[in-house]
Amino acid sequence: MAETDMDDLIEIIEKETDISEIPTSLPMMPVRDVVVFTDMLIPLFVGRDKSIKAVEAAADTDRYLFMCAQKVADDENPGKDDVYQLGTVGRIQKMLKLPDGRIKALIQGITKARVVKFKKQKPWFQVEVEMVEDKEIDTVDIEIEALMRNVRDSSEKILALRGEVSGDVGMILEQIESPGKLADLVASNLRLKVEDAQNLLETVDPAQRLLRVNDLLAREVELSAVQAKIQTNVKDEISKTQRDYYLREQVKAIHRELGDNDEKIAEVNDYSQKIKKAKMPEKCHKEALKQLKRLDQMHSDSSEASIIRTYLDCIVEMPWSKSTKDFLDIQKAAQVLERDHHGLEKVKERILEYLSVRKLNPSMKGQIICFSGPPGVGKTSLGQAIAKAMKRKFVRISLGGIRDEAEIRGHRRTYIGAMPGRILQGLRQCGTNNPVFMLDEIDKLGSDFRGDPSSALLEALDPEQNTEFSDHYLNMPFDLSKVLFVLTANVTDTIPSALLDRMEVIEISGYTREEKAVIAERHLFPRQLRENGLIRRSITVTSGAMDTLISQYTMEAGLRNLERKLGAICRKIARKIAEGQKGKFQVTKATLQKYLGPPVFQPELDQEESQVGLVTGLAWTEVGGEPLYIEVSLCHGKGELTVTGQIGDVMQESARAAFTCIKADMDILGIDKDAFETKDIHIHVPAGAIPKDGPSAGIAMATALISAFTGKVVNNKVAMTGEITLRGRVLPIGGLKEKALGALRAGIKTIVIPEKNKKDLHDLPAGVKRKIKFIPVRDLAQVLEVAFVDRDQD
């Protein structure tokens, strides 16, 4: 419509086309997102193949084309049920074929028509139509005249609100005297949904159609008014912000002329003072001043300025030169360690050695100590004890489950939300550069596509390299050589060898029953009394009850379950006191079941007496040592060997080696050779739900096999551990201390060990060596001398 002048437009609208000249069979073109009204002049870009052929067919004949709206605009290939049946017959005024094959056509709506029949659907739609004429209005009464005037006024309001008003528009609207044509003209220029426009097209009563257009105009006027109001408010807000910024800059300029410091100058001066007080190395000092200069040249509200402020805050808060003075009174440190930890003599001795060397050589580089042992033996609390003994700050971070290298080295400053790594964050929080820094659960580190955190720790934990530790966020070297790193792990097998090589590993085994009783009396029970709001003098636990609690209610290397059981006793007594019961409460061996129920751990029923084919071995686990029972049974068969009990490949190989060993020496051992051909051998390790592996049960399996074949009884008071070879030699094993403590907890008094493990007895506590008899052996024959007993003796 914009391409035609006003007179032509009025002539087009008022001109009556002779409908009888229009053929009833026409090409049909579905149109999307638009409903073509009568007298509407619309430019269309035709791109679909069917539509292009329909336009070309119309152009080749009498230029008439039937247009109807699609029900679903996204449908690329609509069928006869996907279009509205009532549409508009149009005449192609102009047509231009574009280089890409599409057609640009200017089409004028002539009259409404309804599809009577689809004559063909390929290669284009050819339909038979009947013309639909509006109801005739004899005279325009005053009501219709008022409605037409209202429609004209509302149309001009909308155009005014949209900023499109002009005198020509009003003149065009005034020239149209037909209600139906006015309704069609206004409706064609409203931004109506296809459903609403189609309803208007299908309304054949001009007065009714004009009334609906009036309702739609009223709603459009209201929407346009709200939209104009929103745009005005936004414009006013932007103008106000610009005005405030201009005035603020003027105020700053006035302050500068008067010699007063504004906020930005004050901020820069503040950072400058903090950088000076931080006493950082020269290289770092220059970098900090460089970043401060960048901040001074930036606008205060820019995002880059915010990043630089955060970076400067981090730099000035790092303890570049802040240290705590070490307290190096060795005797008092020994008293602190003895007061906080019972037993662990080797560990306390190593700590005191470190303090002694530190006293004689204050410039000594920080040592990397790793406490390795089962859960609950006090590894973490030992780190706190070291810090307390030296009067240093204590920082602890848990490395369990960390898989991102950036957790150790930090993120680049270019990332949103970047921050330093965990190590520098800990130093920043404690405020000193020489704390006792505990890295807990070093064996639980992982690695994935985000990097390997254990490799990132190599630089931090190497005394030769950590004088210039590089963090990605700080991007400048930081000296970690004054930090005393203390690491903890349950096992050292999962720690990478390069990282393990930088540590001094101190093994912490489990506690004996006597040590547990002392620790419970001195530390665990008083702590549970405090936590449960109880008074020490009103509650007592007898020594017999404590022994029963340790031996029958807990079976662990550490102390966590023991403390939980003591907490359960305290809670039950607290409830009695809260309910009004008074008096002193004494927990004895007889009353222990009332508080905790029946004992959880009891000796296995099979071990109440010595038996044939049942041997007690010893196993090492992450939570300490424990007994491992091995059973052998013979039955009629063909000499097949079966091993069960969810055991690993190494343990299965050990069983086959033991079987081959006794088969080779069957004459010496007094075994009938026919037994290997007429009997099936079944070796079973009970607790089948628990995975087991390792070679240390070799001599136990060999002894059980010999006992089953010879009928000799195995002494149930003897446990054994050692690897067996095909020639009957006994090879050394690991974890002897943990296995010995596990045997002591199970009430075993005699242990057969490989002779090459005699050196490990030096590390055992004196109480363990006093209560357990260790018998070193070189070969299987020596094992059998100790293992078997006569039935009469048993």
Catalytic residues: 696, 739
Structure tokens at 658: 């033991």
CB atoms within 10 A of CB 302: 11
> Is 365 marked as binding a ligand?
no
> Is 542 marked as binding a ligand?
no
CB atoms within 10 A of CB 139: 5
The CA distance from 103 to 95, in Å, is 7
Q: Do the beta carbons of residue 381 and residue 486 sit within 8 Å? A: no
Please name the amino acid found at residue 279. Answer: K
> Is 374 marked as binding a ligand?
yes
> Is 377 marked as binding a ligand?
yes
Phi, psi of 392 (to 5 degrees): -105, 165
Cα angle value 399/401/407 (rounded, 5°): 55
Q: Do the beta carbons of residue 646 and residue 689 sit within 8 Å? A: yes
3-state helix, strand, coil in the chain (%, to 5): 45, 20, 35
Structure tokens at 210: 């004009």
Q: Do the beta carbons of residue 275 and residue 289 sit within 8 Å? A: yes
Helices marked H in 511-585 — which ranges? 513-519, 525-531, 543-552, 560-578
CA atoms within 13 A on the CB side of 417: 1
> Is 691 marked as binding a ligand?
no
Please name the amino acid found at residue 641. Answer: L
Strand order in the sheet with 504-507: 394-398, 436-440, 484-489, 368-372, 504-507
- Helices (runs of H) and strands (runs of E) counted in the chain: 29, 27
> Is 27 marked as binding a ligand?
no
DSSP state of 77: S
> Is 776 marked as binding a ligand?
no
> Is 660 marked as binding a ligand?
no
The CA distance from 705 to 683, in Å, is 8
DSSP secondary structure letters along 396-426: EEE-TT---THHHH---TTSTT----HHHHH
User: Which strand (E) or helix (H) includes residue 744?
Assistant: helix 736-745
Q: Which residues are annotated as a binding site for ATP?
A: 373-380
Q: Which residues are annotated as a binding site?
A: 373-380
